[in-house]
């Protein structure tokens, strides 16, 4: 069930929120757990048992870890991580490994063709982080199985994050507060995310779909596609994160921010501190730092970076394009790391920003390519004279979507937020924005409803990861 679906907006969410606020605090968690399990069952009925199994494994191993000491404590934690990872590997990567073996050894092993359980990459990582945090004694094991089940399955962040740490919400699971101000903030944040997803991302997606289906391509069309996809995936994923954070506020939870205007960055390092923050911090805290981080010799540091970014790419999908994408950014990060600060300081900020946009566009072209061969074909279309520089079709779509592209480019920066904050800086401006907020929310809902009724193109890119 997509957040940007009529069923969610006008049936599921009103019922869940309405009943939630009627019930006494002591049964709110039970209601949210039932709603979350139904939410997952609605989209993946046959894989609900898999998520329940992950929760059960994490709960049991968490209790065992809490009671163990020394080597036994470490062994139990490793076992819990291995069991949870085995489910992720089996469903997400088995066919990839079989295909690779078939290619290398010219064998003919049959593919399992397993359907990828929605959200498995996200809720598995949450379960793993919980068990590791219990091992590190960052948190005691959760004794109440319903509380841990709610943490893993909570529907706002279940299928696409942010990847929430147990330590960040363990207090909210037990003693969260509700207020009209917090609920209002949640509604506003949800509306912003909904608009980003349906109005911006879906519209940008039509450009990408048109490009893929077109036979009459040009070099300029390849670049138009690259820009459109980069903006589409940003508005798609950050919009979903905004909706998740907004829903969390409505229900009394506070989730971490997942995006911080990454396209205003002037380096790849800065970009990845602003993009998919919850995933980057997860790999940093549970893979990179335990491996030694940057407090090791140069060769071990190279190994650490390449390993983390290989895994980051592989986490996104079972395809060599994702691995290539991860290693591409690893190479860029290493280049930036070994360039002296003197050289960095001499480069004008706008040049650094142009460089960042350029390399990120290339990265997303690789990310969305149809296999490694397709990635090189797309890059060839961007950088060689294989195709004409431009053509009538390209100019038509450039003119037709120019307003959307400019609006998306502005919307990907903090410009609008800065303007709103300046208006809020005085009492009159604050009162005006407060009065306009309900109008804004209703307007977004009306426009989104019209889009959803009128069209059928409403994908969510990160469901496939």
Report pLDDT digits (tens) over 21-36.
999 988 999 999 999 9
Give the per-residue pLDDT at 323.
Answer: 96
Q: Residue 464: pLDDT band by 50, 70, 90 thresholds? A: low
Q: Kindly tell me if the per-residue pLDDT of 465 is higher than 60.
A: no
Residue 306: name the closest of 320, 319, 287 by CA. 287
Q: Kindly tell me if the per-residue pLDDT of 160 is higher than 90.
A: no
Residue 316 designated active-site: yes
Measured CA to CA, the distance from residue 313 to residue 212 in angstroms comes to 23
Yes or no: say if 182 and 249 are a contact pair by the CB < 8 Å rule: yes
Q: Kindly tell me if the per-residue pLDDT of 422 is higher than 70.
A: yes
Yes or no: say if 225 and 207 are a contact pair by the CB < 8 Å rule: yes
| Long-range Cβ contact pairs of 226-229 (< 8 A, separation 24 or more) | 226/361, 226/362, 226/364, 226/365, 226/382, 227/361, 227/405, 228/204, 228/401, 228/405, 229/204, 229/364, 229/365, 229/368
pLDDT in tens, 186-245: 999 999 999 999 999 999 999 999 999 988 899 999 999 999 999 999 999 999 999 999
Catalytic residue among 175, 185, 316, 353: 316
Q: Residue 41: pLDDT band by 50, 70, 90 thresholds? A: very high
**Phi and psi for 428 in degrees, rounded to 5?**
-65, -45
From residue 412, alpha-carbon distances to 170, 200, 216, 361 in Å are 32, 11, 30, 14
Length of the chain: 465
Q: Residue 44: pLDDT band by 50, 70, 90 thresholds? A: confident
* Tokens (6 digits) for 355: 């460089």
pLDDT in tens, 350-397: 899 999 999 999 999 999 999 999 999 999 999 998 899 999 999 999
pLDDT in tens, 80-98: 999 999 999 999 999 999 9
* Tokens (6 digits) for 126: 């949450």
Q: Domain extents for the chain?
A: 6-176, 182-464
Task: Indicate the average pLDDT of the chain.
Answer: 91
Q: Kindly tell me if the per-residue pLDDT of 406 is higher than 60.
A: yes
Measured CA to CA, the distance from residue 139 to residue 133 in angstroms comes to 6
Q: Kindly tell me if the per-residue pLDDT of 424 is higher than 90.
A: no
Number of Cβ atoms within 10 Å of the Cβ of 73: 18
Give the per-residue pLDDT at 34.
Answer: 96
Give the per-residue pLDDT at 457.
Answer: 60
Yes or no: say if 209 and 348 are a contact pair by the CB < 8 Å rule: no
Q: Percent of the chain scored above 70 by pLDDT?
A: 97
Give the per-residue pLDDT at 338.
Answer: 85
Measured CA to CA, the distance from residue 375 to residue 28 in angstroms comes to 48
Yes or no: say if 285 and 256 are a contact pair by the CB < 8 Å rule: no
Give the per-residue pLDDT at 22.
Answer: 95
Measured CA to CA, the distance from residue 326 to residue 431 in angstroms comes to 47
Q: Kindly tell me if the per-residue pLDDT of 248 is higher than 60.
A: yes
Torsional sign, CA 116, 120, 125, 127:
negative
Yes or no: say if 322 and 314 are a contact pair by the CB < 8 Å rule: yes
Yes or no: say if 372 and 103 are a contact pair by the CB < 8 Å rule: no
Give the per-residue pLDDT at 432.
Answer: 86
Token look-up 């470490």 returns 74
Q: Kindly tell me if the per-residue pLDDT of 268 is higher than 80.
A: yes
Q: Kindly tell me if the per-residue pLDDT of 39 is higher than 80.
A: yes
From residue 103, alpha-carbon distances to 229, 271, 310, 316 in Å are 30, 35, 21, 22
* Tokens (6 digits) for 162: 């942010």
Give the per-residue pLDDT at 92.
Answer: 94
Q: Percent of the chain scored above 90 by pLDDT?
A: 72
Give the per-residue pLDDT at 459.
Answer: 62
Choose the weakest-confidence range: 180-184, 308-312, 454-458. 454-458
Q: Residue 313: pLDDT band by 50, 70, 90 thresholds? A: very high
């Amino acid at each position: 069930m997509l957040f940007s679906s009529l069923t969610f907006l006008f049936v599921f969410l009103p019922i869940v929120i309405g009943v939630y606020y009627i019930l006494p605090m002591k049964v709110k968690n039970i209601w949210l757990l039932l709603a979350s399990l139904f939410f997952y069952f609605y989209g993946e009925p046959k894989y609900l048992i898999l998520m329940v199994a992950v929760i059960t494994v994490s709960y049991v191993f968490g209790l065992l870890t809490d009671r163990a000491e020394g080597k036994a404590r470490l062994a139990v934690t490793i076992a819990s991580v291995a069991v949870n990872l085995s489910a992720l590997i089996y469903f997400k990567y088995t066919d990839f490994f079989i295909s690779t073996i078939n290619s290398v050894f010219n064998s003919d092993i049959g593919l399992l063709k397993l359907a990828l359980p929605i959200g498995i990459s996200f809720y598995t990582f949450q379960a793993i982080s919980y068990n590791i945090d219990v091992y590190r004694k960052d948190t005691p094991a959760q004794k109440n199985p319903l509380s841990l089940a709610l943490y893993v399955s909570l529907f706002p962040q279940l299928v696409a994050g942010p990847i929430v740490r147990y330590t960040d919400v363990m207090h909210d699971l037990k003693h969260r507060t509700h207020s009209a101000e917090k609920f209002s903030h949640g509604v506003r944040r949800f509306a912003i995310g909904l608009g980003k997803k349906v109005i911006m991302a879906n519209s940008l997606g039509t450009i990408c779909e048109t490009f893929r289906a077109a036979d009459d391509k040009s070099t300029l069309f390849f670049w138009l596609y690259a820009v459109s996809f980069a903006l589409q995936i940003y508005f798609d994923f950050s919009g979903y994160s905004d909706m998740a954070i907004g829903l969390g506020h409505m229900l009394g939870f506070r989730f971490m921010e997942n995006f911080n205007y990454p396209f205003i960055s002037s380096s790849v390092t800065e970009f990845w501190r602003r993009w998919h923050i919850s995933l980057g911090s997860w790999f940093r805290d549970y893979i990179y730092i335990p491996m030694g981080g940057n407090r090791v010799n140069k060769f071990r540091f190279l190994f650490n970076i390449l390993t983390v970014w290989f895994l980051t790419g592989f986490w996104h999908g079972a395809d060599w394009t994702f691995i290539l994408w991860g290693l591409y950014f690893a190479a860029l990060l290493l280049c930036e790391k070994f360039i002296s600060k003197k050289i960095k300081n001499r480069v004008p900020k706008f040049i650094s920003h142009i460089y960042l946009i350029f390399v990120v566009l290339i990265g997303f072209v690789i990310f969305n390519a149809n296999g490694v061969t397709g990635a090189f074909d797309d890059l060839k279309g961007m950088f060689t004279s294989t195709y004409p520089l431009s053509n009538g079709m390209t100019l038509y779509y450039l003119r037709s979507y120019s307003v959307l592209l400019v609006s998306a480019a502005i919307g990907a920066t903090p410009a609008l937020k800065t303007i709103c904050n300046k208006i809020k800086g005085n009492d009159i401006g604050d009162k005006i924005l407060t009065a306009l907020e309900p109008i804004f929310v209703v307007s977004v809902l009306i426009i989104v409803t019209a889009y959803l009724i009128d069209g059928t193109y409403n994908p969510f890119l990160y469901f496939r990861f």
